[in-house]
Amino acid sequence: MAIKTRFTKAFGIEHPIVQGGMQWVGYAEIAAPVSDAGGLGMLTALAMPTPEDLAKEIARTKEMTDKPFGVNLTILPAIKPPPYAEYRQAIIEGGIKIVETAGYKPQEHIDHFKEHGIKVIHKCTAVRHALSAERMGADAISIDGFECAGHPGEDDIPGLILIPAAADKVKVPMLASGGFGDGRGLVAALALGADGINMGTRFCVTKEAPIHENFKKQMVENDERDTKLIFRTLHNTARVMKNAVSEEVVAIEAKGGAKFEDIQHLVAGVRGRAAMEKGDADDGIWSAGMIQGLIHDIPTVKELIDRIIADAEKIMDERLA
């Protein structure tokens, strides 16, 4: 039995499984096999240093798969913002037909993509933001619960409440994000009103993910308690893997009155990337979700997607029959 939903039909994919945008991970190596396996792979635009590099990565991905794939473009407030318009142009000229936007005030980006016939999925952490994105013209919503890696917002609403709360109001197809990694999660998401799932951390722990093996092994060893919330006092909460650096950040914030400058040396992106390249899972900040507690192996992307679908079908055919 194929699991067909509004999302699979609207976006032309086989399985209701999407690989979300992931900084330093969302390259052709992971996006292409996800799409080949029937899901929707995503390149991460800002993982590429320049718009020209993104154009090259789009072309490289097209050489690796003939299935649909998308590009994530995350918009965050910054002292020196990236050249978003140039990244958008690289996406448009690359012939991409699906974009996942995330973050701050996406109207300009949604409008520009829609002018070129590109479908937009907007990722957000609150029902009110989902409804706002829907009004802006988003074709689908990815609703991100408190369990997620990266930025869960400041409302702290877990998926069990957030997903059906959004499903009650959002009219366009919706993905459930944050805490998904197996067939049970997919069935639960569908039962709660979603049209598919968006996975990040789980796709990091696959053979194709361009991450040092030490990080993959660490996430297999970790359980659901092995994350930390940093930047809470700065009102920019991020969920990251528990390690020496994230614990130090939390300790500094707990003293009170911390400014970003007090922790900048610990959370700098260059430090995190260097740690990943060296394979030192205890140095630098690494985004990871609570789903770590349900990750027990390092399969290929195809093995993972096939297993999720098979397990979901078995649950629906047997337990829920």
Instruction: List the chain domain ranges.
Output: 6-211+296-320, 227-287
What mean pLDDT do residues 226-240 have?
95
Closest CA to 276 of 19, 15, 24: 24
Whether the per-residue pLDDT at 1 is higher than 70: the answer is no
The domain 6-211+296-320 is classified under which CATH number: 3.40.50.720, 3.20.20.70, 3.40.50.2300, 3.30.930.10?
3.20.20.70
Q: Quote the CA–CA distance of 178 and 43 in Å, as a whole number.
A: 19
For the chain, percent of residues with pLDDT exceeding 70: 99
**H/E segment holding residue 161:** helix 159-167
Q: Quote the CA–CA distance of 126 and 138 in Å, as a whole number.
A: 15
Contact (CB, 8 A) for 243 and 230: no
DSSP structure string for 4-24: --HHHHHHT-SSSEEEPP-TT
Q: Quote the CA–CA distance of 212 and 216 in Å, as a whole number.
A: 7
pLDDT of residue 270: 80
Paired with 18 in beta bridges are 40, 198
pLDDT of residue 134: 97
Tens of pLDDT, residues 257-289: 999 899 988 988 788 888 888 899 988 899 999
Whether the per-residue pLDDT at 235 is higher than 70: the answer is yes
Q: Quote the CA–CA distance of 293 and 180 in Å, as a whole number.
A: 11
- For the chain, the 3-state helix, strand and coil shares in percent, each to the nearest 5, are 45, 15, 40
What mean pLDDT do residues 98-103 have?
96
Whole-model pTM over 0.75: yes
Q: What angle do CA 281, 209, 2 make, to 5 degrees?
A: 130
Q: Quote the CA–CA distance of 204 and 238 in Å, as a whole number.
A: 17
Residue 76: both structure tokens together: 């965050």
